[in-house]
Structure 1
């Protein structure tokens, strides 16, 4: 089935002119680049969530009253004392935070990680199809250019 759809797609590409093929290839390449950027963003977000889940796990093991460094920014830490390890603030985006129990915070991170993995897999499938279209259009374009050159060369 996949080979018949691939051959019919190639047949459709064969019917196109050189300019149309160039435009299709450029569009497909642009979409491939955008999808790759999206995949990289998902990987980055997933790494951050896994780091947050690890931090929550580490925090849950610390006793109350434990002295620690609290991150204010990526490079600025201030000394602090663990007051209540049972509750955490969860950043839900755009500057909004929700207070949750430690278990709910861990669950939130795990659900987000699972969602990102699912989105990654779906985007990866779309990327593979777009790459296939771009490659196929490139091959047909090269073939047509060679044919044109052969026809114009005495």
Structure 2
């Protein structure tokens, strides 16, 4: 009887939605697996966006500390810096021009900018990633709630199935 009620109430449901009560246990398990996989992918993407945001913030910090910061201190010996060759290998370097920096704009392209414009460029990247992260967090929350609903319906169907099996064997 409740299946009829839910079928009639789903008449106003948006197109593309599925009444979970009408799905079989294997279909519910497949849906649960798909939602879990999507959630893992979205969570990984979220972590990668956070890491990219941290790198852009590090670029701003490097410009402030390594280029404009030591100039503001007025110390003549601060022209030496460490230049990263890999993530764990650095060589000593010397700044020859504090008026321009090379900015990695993606896919191996570098653009010469003033330190102020480079900071502005990276700040815009951080803001853009903030907006993307907010949207992604909303999607993750939605997928999480969908997964909880599917797991609850699956649990109820399994309990109902156990009760029916117990009644049939008695």
TM-score (norm. length: structure 1): 0.88
Inter-partner Cα distance in structure 2 for 1:16 and 1:75: 53
Aligned position for 2:6: none
The reply on whether 1:44 has 2:44 as its aligned counterpart is no
TM-score (norm. length: structure 2): 0.80
TM-fit CA distance, 1:79 = 1.9
Query: Which digits, 9 at most, give the CA deviation of each residue in 1:30-59, with x for residues without a partner?
Result: 100000000000111111111111111112
TM-fit CA distance, 1:11 = 8.3
Aligned position for 1:60: 68
Unaligned runs of 5+ in 2: 1-9
Aligned CA RMSD, in angstroms, stands at 2.2
Aligned position for 1:130: 143
2:154 to 141, 148, 151: 141
Higher RCO (Cα < 8 Å, 6 or more apart): 1
Unaligned runs of 5+ in 1: none
Larger CA Rg, structure 1 vs 2: 2
Structure 2 counterparts to residues 34-113 of structure 1, below 5 A: 34-58=41-65, 59-63=67-71, 66-113=79-126
Runs of 4+ in structure 1 deviating by more than 4 angstroms, as ranges, are 8-11
